[in-house]
Structure 1
Amino acid sequence: MAQEIRPHAIWLALIGVAGGLMSGLFGVGGGTIIVPALAIWLSMPQKLSAGTSVLAILPTAIVGATTYALQGQVDWIAAICLALGMIVGAQLGTILLQKLSVDVVQWSFMIFLGIVIVTLWFVVPHRDAQIDMTFWTVFFLVVTGFAAGILSGLLGVGGGVIVVPVLMFFFGASDLIAKGTSLLMMIPGSMSATLGNVRRQNVDFRAAAWVGLAACLFVPLGSLLAGWIDPFWGNVAFSLYLVFVVTQMLLRWFKNRAK
């Protein structure tokens, strides 16, 4: 029995290592790595992969946000605004996961990421940039969190692939503050989405534990790398990561259409 479980656990840990590095380096939850890996490598159903990923993101986000906060790279007010929207959006996302085809959401998401990829090559954030808080800033932060929450519950991602570039390009945050704030926002969002997924039995707790714990060990390394990399090259690396995300989403979409 142990021989059957051990390789499975090793694969889960490797998935967590990759997700943790990406989480710390780019301020994302790692779901864009975790979900396809669970579905492809371990043949886990799509809905169960998404729900398991959201739970694994919780400890990952806690460690990542703590690492960035210790470096002073978190905007707490922005994170609270984002989290308020994300908590509500995550609940809606888990409902949509049960009831709707995700094709339209996936294509909208891919188009959005395509725009972000192009933008990353032309706009480079300054390391000392801050978010200026006004009424409209707070309002649009909540809206951004709501959209990220829907994607979190629906696709199993942490929402950072939306929040990080939006914070940099529309709210004027530095790349490190955007990443740290994004990770802090994910904590309540992941809790909210997980509660919805547990009620709908879309979580594999054992798999989430292996992935989440392995990811926690490598998030600090990713965050240190983010601080060492020049903002321009950080944008280049993030854009290549998003190209990978879009490519794997396209491949999975065509694969599902071919069935």
Structure 2
Amino acid sequence: MTDSPRPGIIILIVLGAVTGLLSGLFGIGGGIVLVPLLVLLLQFPQRLAAGTSVAAILPAAIVGGIGYAVQGNVDWIAALCLAIGIVIGAQIGSYLLSKVPTGFLRWMFMVFLAAVAVSLWFVVPQRDSEIGITWFSAVMLVVTGLITGVLSGLLGVGGGVVVVPILMFFFGASDLIAKGTSLIMLIPGSISGTLGNFRRRNVDLRAAAALGISASVLSPLGSVLATHISPLWSNIAFSILLAFVLVQMALKMRKPKTK
């Protein structure tokens, strides 16, 4: 994708701020919300929106991850295992991004949103739970990171929407540790995916910088708010947010295209 939209800085800052707050609150990169907003509001092509989102995730992930780490809500061994997988997977995903048809990509993204929203109603962790690290669980964390990296590069999501529910449901993590560990994992994943997307010209660096910097301002606030919301209500709020985005994308795709 060679031509990129040139939206105003103000709208980018606003979208970035919203993304950063959600990033810190739910332990996600924010791409799950940012990609649809870039497509629906700013008319970004799907591939460019995905690539730009991956780049914009980086500042918010760094700042939000620090916020969780300061509060002791990061499992560093799990984050390292996930990071190993996501760095490799992000390169695969960014390659597939330039090959997969746009229409299929949008439907894949919508199915992905629906699956995550439903899963959140079945995953309600205990706040004092921790991740038990064994050789087997370490290998499975690397595999999880690999799959997450592919989805990150392909769909433009940071991967937190995949990793957070998996860490809670399959690895026994509390919601706060899952969110903090996810944000730390997103840092190398975002760097890897952005390098791949940049080579294939699927990223708007100007927009990514504006989005990322503004997102990093509110990301710490989100991480603080997360500690004051129960795991159940956090899951409910997240699933409602994803359902709203899904409905908006479905309505957009049903509208006839006009030249």
Taking structure 2 as the reference length, what is the TM-score of the superposition? 0.90
Matching of residues 113-128 of structure 1 within 5 Å: 113-128=113-128
Are the structure 2 counterparts of residues 143 and 26 from structure 1 closer, same or farther at C-alpha, using a change threshold of 3 Å?
A: same
Secondary structure of the residue aligned to 1:99 is: coil
Equivalent in the alignment of 2:213: 213
Equivalent in the alignment of 1:131: 131
Equivalent in the alignment of 1:16: 16
Equivalent in the alignment of 1:192: 192
Q: Determine if contact 1:18/1:33 at 8 Å carries over to the other structure.
A: no
**Cα deviation 1:62-97 (Å, max 9, x = unaligned):** 001001000000011111111111111100111111
**The 10-residue stretch of structure 1 (175-184 or 247-256) with the greater mean CA deviation from structure 2:** 247-256
Equivalent in the alignment of 2:143: 143
Secondary structure of the residue aligned to 2:173 is: coil
Give 1:250 shift: 3.2
Give 1:7 shift: 7.5
Secondary structure of the residue aligned to 1:36 is: helix
Give 1:108 shift: 5.6
Task: Report the AA paired with residue 178 of structure 1.
Answer: A
Equivalent in the alignment of 2:54: 54
2:249 and 2:148 mapped to 1: Cα distance? 17
Q: Determine if contact 1:29/1:57 at 8 Å carries over to the other structure.
A: yes
Matching of residues 27-42 of structure 1 within 5 Å: 27-42=27-42
Equivalent in the alignment of 1:94: 94
Gaps of 5+ in 1: 1-5
Task: Report the AA paired with residue 192 of structure 1.
Answer: S
**Cα deviation 1:2-33 (Å, max 9, x = unaligned):** xxxx9711100011011001100100101122
Are the structure 2 counterparts of residues 81 and 230 from structure 1 closer, same or farther at C-alpha, using a change threshold of 3 Å?
A: same
Give 1:105 shift: 6.2
Are the structure 2 counterparts of residues 193 and 252 from structure 1 closer, same or farther at C-alpha, using a change threshold of 3 Å?
A: farther
Equivalent in the alignment of 1:225: 225
Identity of aligned residues (%): 60
1:54 and 1:122 mapped to 2: Cα distance? 28
1:87 and 1:49 mapped to 2: Cα distance? 20
Are the structure 2 counterparts of residues 249 and 167 from structure 1 closer, same or farther at C-alpha, using a change threshold of 3 Å?
A: farther
Equivalent in the alignment of 1:3: none
1:200 and 1:245 mapped to 2: Cα distance? 27
Greater helix fraction, Structure 1 or Structure 2: 1
Secondary structure of the residue aligned to 2:8 is: helix
RMSD: 2.2
Equivalent in the alignment of 2:3: none
**Cα deviation 1:26-57 (Å, max 9, x = unaligned):** 00101122212222222222211111111110
**The 10-residue stretch of structure 1 (149-158 or 43-52) with the greater mean CA deviation from structure 2:** 43-52
Give 1:169 shift: 0.6
